Amino acid sequence: MKEFSPSDMSQGLAIMTSGGDSAGMNPAVKCSVEYARKQGFKPFLIYDGLRGLIDDNIVEASRELCSGILHRGGTVLRSSRSKRFFEYQYRQQAFENLQRRGIGNLIVIGGDGSFSALNQFYADFKVPFAGIPATIDNDIPGTDYCLGVDTALNMIRQSVDSIRDTATSFSRAFVIEVMGRHCGYLAMVSALSSGAEICLIPEIPYDLDSIGARLIEEKKNGRSYVLAIVAEGTRMSEHLTRWLTDSLNMDARLTVLGHVQRGGSPTVHDRIMAYKFAVAAVESLKSGNPNAIMTFRDGSFGSVPIETVTGSKYKMDADLLKLCKPLAT
């Protein structure tokens, strides 16, 4: 079977979203289609992520399909996780679907798991791809920002501000659990930006005795309510709620924000970042860069090899960790 190569690069370019959804995916899809068309590519859309790639759920990207999606949260292309993609026979089936349409380039909007899957696909069939980082955890190595983070933080901010109204009205303690199984970025930034008294994340050791002593002293000086932001990965939300009741003698309540954090219309920041990432992805493919991940570092856009993402561990911003540490002790 003939493999694609940069020397006979097909003008077909397909865009897909994969992994967890995040606001900003739809603007990235729209801009990728429009910019690819301007650069001479024939754009296609892959629905249902890796599953759609296997099942041939691929259509030409008409203007109608990309109209009116800029303001929508989630992904109109839908997403999925596919165990079948780990099997060579199904990857070959996916390749044949692309080959039949003359698609020789892919843009995948998602996280490191999606990038790894497409990297294996490249190793098998030499179909170049460009990755656009999109995950609300903001935990992809090599880039300071991932699509959807700003929108998720604003969704959390709105919820925390509303909860604060009740906390102050009834002199209560509220524990607010946010997403983040392995990364506490959302919890940390939300705690700092909302003025929370407690923040528990996987990256910082916590000391409840120290926190208790601090808050008891603050209560003596007039504190009437407490806000605690907890990353789900700590598995401390319920325990902390009971601890606040027992240790501070306060009526404590737990609010789990859950998937509300993923939704919502993309913020202006996420829309602009989506456009810039999309342009960088198309340019990367146009230049013959076969398997690069788009990045935003120190205020500039660029790219890194897929190995940088799959071969390294994400490191939290040291300055943010330093600011957040007092909220865990």
Residues marked active site are found at: 137
Cβ atoms of 223 and 215 within 8 Å: the answer is yes
d(CA 74, CA 22): 5
Which residues have a Cβ under 8 Å from the Cβ of 268 and sit 6 or more positions away? none
Apex CA 261: angle with CA 266 and CA 184, to 5°? 115
Cβ atoms of 292 and 306 within 8 Å: the answer is yes
d(CA 149, CA 274): 12
Bridge-based pairing of strands 173-178 and 226-231 is: parallel
- Partnered with residue 302 across adjacent β-strands are 295
Burial of 11 (0-12, 13-18, 19+ CB in 10 A): middle
Burial of 286 (0-12, 13-18, 19+ CB in 10 A): middle
Phi, psi of 205 (to 5 degrees): -65, 140
> CB neighbours (10 Å) of residue 201?
26
Cβ atoms of 43 and 138 within 8 Å: the answer is no
